Chain A
């Protein structure tokens, strides 16, 4: 297999708060292989957003990158100057945002915004428009030429998200980061966008880092999945393995909570008891211990490490089981 497009190793990021440093990411390690779709799943506050904003270095001013490396095609993004990062963004690394209602400039026509994304290319306005048009066609927008003169508010949410995807793919990036791109859309559109993303991924051969808290979407779309909890990777591996044989108790719980898996109608949807630990004062031992259904003595003493090859999980129970 070829070299991964993105390789994150032991990445730690904290936010400076009045109470002390909030450790948003701790020792995050995973890789995005070339031409694959990787899903990152986890509940709100698990560090998904911090992770992507660290990758494209658009982090909040109070964020501190502690240690680790983010290798993009072999170069460490954390060592790059802000000018080098800016050259990468929108060219080699692109991004699609969560809410298409707010991620397009409301006062400029679609065509102007799409031409604007091509600011690095020395093309005439006509050539840029032609490229925008063909790109809109590829993401499945009917009558693309007519859309170029329309404003975002004249398009539906699904159309806008397609426009955003077209803009992100304009420079044919090696890595597309999609931050919950279907969360703001309804279910039928979600499926359409997912299938379109799969097609586009095949056409362009790019890798996609897909962030979601929707397990069904991840299962449908991704080749591999990374499960995050409270700023740590608790399990990662090929989608099939993780979904069929989850090793970490959190992943198991998460799967149990997926409404799509519940056969009988019920008012009491399953939940994971408890809430996220305080990330300013981290508990000793395993981060999931307080919500875990089967803790052993070792869980309170020692922090588990990711173990296994291919399909990895960080849980002490795995050692004792074998």
Chain B
């Protein structure tokens, strides 16, 4: 469709003028590429144990060295990227969708519904996330799905509150009243007029949220609450490396660098997107 082509064109035109945003975009693309094609790119099986080669330093055979069981760290980092991206994609898309619906209901619906939802959002947000995750894991046992579930539940209020505020600001705007005067139903107004006005900031928020979610997954896996042991995750690589820090710094470096890369890449890219889609800034270049 031409509208999407135009949007893509606008993003690239904007990125060209913003080197930091471009760097972020390249970094994000690289991370996504490496994670998606991990099966082809990884030189070793991430679970393959080689006890004669424990805690090796980087070499041509093992670019990032090996861990305490002699597993190739580069392969584990690549596969760990898959876990990180799967968690963030699933968790963010679900919490964004639910947050969008709840936020619009709170912002546009009757006042009692708004009150109920806001109290619910605040209740969820008042739990420290790690404590909440610990409690849930204690009940269900550690698994990737638990991590995703915890992230969804704690992220929904973040999105919903942004959507609610935006919707509240929009509902008093003249063009919404004009639409009503032209016979539009509430659903129609939400779908055609509120949604297009809030969706761009929401995607930008989501893009900036990726590092937080990836960090959360790594953190929970580091604490042993996420992926179960043999499965590679950046968090579990860090945890393994942490115990053998005196023997070799490489697992910590290898597990930490991708986290830094994800944070920088998505933050720069997200900030650049925000500048591109902000209509107040858009006007200048036309």
A, B bound: yes
A103 touches B279 (CB 8 A): no
In this complex, the member of B185, B188, B192, B197 whose beta carbon has the largest number of chain A beta carbons within 10 angstroms is B192
**At the interface, is chain B mostly helix, strand, loop or mixed?**
helix
- Chain B 113-135 near chain A by CB (<8 Å), digits 1 or 0: 00000000000000000000000
A56 touches B197 (CB 8 A): no
B196 touches A97 (CB 8 A): no
With A107-B196, A107-B197, A116-B192 as contacts: A102 and B174 at CB distance below 8 Å: yes
- Chain B 188-227 near chain A by CB (<8 Å), digits 1 or 0: 1000110011001000000000000000000000000000
* In the assembled complex, A168 has its CB within 8 A of some CB on chain B: yes
The smallest beta-carbon distance between B234 and chain A, in angstroms, is 38
Residues on A with C-beta less than 8 A from B188 are 116, 119
A168 touches B182 (CB 8 A): yes
Number of A-B residue pairs, CB cutoff 8 Å, is: 65
With A97-B174, A119-B188, A153-B279 as contacts: A106 and B180 at CB distance below 8 Å: no
**Count the B residues whose beta carbon is within 8 Å of the partner chain — how many?**
21
* In the assembled complex, B173 has its CB within 8 A of some CB on chain A: yes
* In the assembled complex, A167 has its CB within 8 A of some CB on chain B: yes
A103 touches B182 (CB 8 A): no
- Chain B 75-112 near chain A by CB (<8 Å), digits 1 or 0: 00000000000000000000000000000000000000
Task: Report the bound CA distance from A88 to B180 in whole Å.
Answer: 11
A97 touches B177 (CB 8 A): yes
* In the assembled complex, B183 has its CB within 8 A of some CB on chain A: yes
Task: Report the bound CA distance from A116 to B180 in whole Å.
Answer: 12
* In the assembled complex, B286 has its CB within 8 A of some CB on chain A: yes
B181 touches A99 (CB 8 A): no
A91 touches B183 (CB 8 A): yes
* In the assembled complex, B175 has its CB within 8 A of some CB on chain A: yes
- Chain A 96-130 near chain B by CB (<8 Å), digits 1 or 0: 01010011111110000000110110000000000
Residues on A with C-beta less than 8 A from B197 are 105-107
With A58-B180, A116-B192, A154-B286 as contacts: A105 and B175 at CB distance below 8 Å: yes
Residues on A with C-beta less than 8 A from B173 are 102
B residues neighboring A (CB under 8 Å): 173-175, 177-185, 188, 192-193, 196-197, 200, 279, 283, 286
A residues neighboring B (CB under 8 Å): 56, 58, 86-91, 94-95, 97, 99, 102-108, 116-117, 119-120, 153-154, 164, 167-168
